[in-house]
């Protein structure tokens, strides 16, 4: 009986100790980082779009090429190890832009390279991008169907 009581109180103590040690997220600081890094990434993209438009691309093509360039930059900087360093500070500021999508593909693919090029790189590339594509494509088809039946 006594043993049990001490066990429970120890557990409680441990929980208290853990709660004390787990760092509280500092909302303001994290949000500022996310705002400035996310904003900066979008501003760079705007610069690329404007430059492409100056070269004579139409709006849709300029947007597509901008996305391709941002994906390339995200993947390349992840390979160099720079993007993950940035991500530690910037949090959602580097995850939410499309370059973060590229990051989510390259990071696990590099990590699992030793498991081979098919089941390692090929499969793990999509450990995070896969769900995004499933829900993205899924919702686009559903929206298309709804649009078809409601606009007839």
Partner 1 sequence: MDYIRAFIVGGIICVIGQLLMDGTKLTPAHILVSFVTTGAILTALGIYEPIAKFGGTGATIPLTGFGYSLAKGAMDSVKKAGLIGAFTGGIQSTAGGVAAAVVFGYIMAVIFNPKSKK
Spell 17-40 as b/e; 16+ CB within 10 A means b.
eeeeeeeeeeeeeeeebbeebbee
Question: Hey, which residues between 3 and 22 contact partner 1 (CB under 8 A)?
Answer: none
For partner 1, the closer of residues 20 and 114 by Cβ is: 114
Cα-only R_g, the chain: 23
**Residues from 27 through 46 that contact partner 1 (CB under 8 A):** 27, 30-31, 33-43, 45-46
72 binds partner 1 (CB under 8 A): yes
| 81 lines the binding site for partner 1 (CB under 8 A) | yes
Number of residues that bind partner 1 (CB under 8 A): 78
Q: How far is CA 79 from CA 9, 92, 124, in A?
A: 48, 19, 15
Q: Does 110 bind partner 1 (CB under 8 A)?
A: yes
Query: Would you count residue 52 as binding partner 1 (CB under 8 A)?
Result: no
Are residues 78 and 106 in contact, defined by beta-carbon separation less than 8 angstroms? yes
The answer to the question of residue 116 lying near partner 1 (CB under 8 A) is no
Asked if 106 is part of the footprint of partner 1 (rule: CB under 8 A), the reply reads yes
SS3 (DSSP) at 68: helix
Is residue 84 part of the contact set for partner 1 (CB under 8 A)? yes
Determine contact, residues 66/125, Cβ cutoff 8 Å: no
Residues 6+ apart with CB under 8 A from 133: 126
CB of 16 to partner 1, least distance (A): 20
Among 3, 4, 17, 49, binds partner 1 (CB under 8 A): 49
* Of positions 15, 17, 51, 117, contacts partner 1 by CB under 8 A: 117
């Amino acid at each position: 009986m006594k043993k049990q009581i001490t066990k429970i109180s120890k557990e409680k103590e441990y929980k208290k100790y853990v709660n004390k040690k787990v760092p509280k997220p500092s909302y303001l600081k994290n949000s500022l980082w996310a705002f400035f890094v996310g904003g900066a990434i979008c501003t760079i993209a705007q610069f690329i779009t404007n430059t492409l438009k100056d070269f004579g691309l139409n709006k849709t093509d300029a947007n597509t090429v901008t996305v391709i360039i941002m994906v390339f930059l995200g993947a390349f900087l992840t390979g160099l190890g720079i993007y993950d360093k940035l991500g530690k500070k910037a949090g959602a500021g580097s995850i939410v832009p499309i370059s973060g999508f590229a990051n989510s593909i390259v990071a696990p693919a590099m990590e699992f390279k030793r498991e081979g090029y098919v089941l390692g790189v090929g499969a793990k590339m999509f450990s995070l991008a896969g769900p995004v594509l499933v829900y993205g494509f899924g919702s686009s088809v559903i929206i298309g169907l709804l649009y078809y039946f409601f606009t007839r």
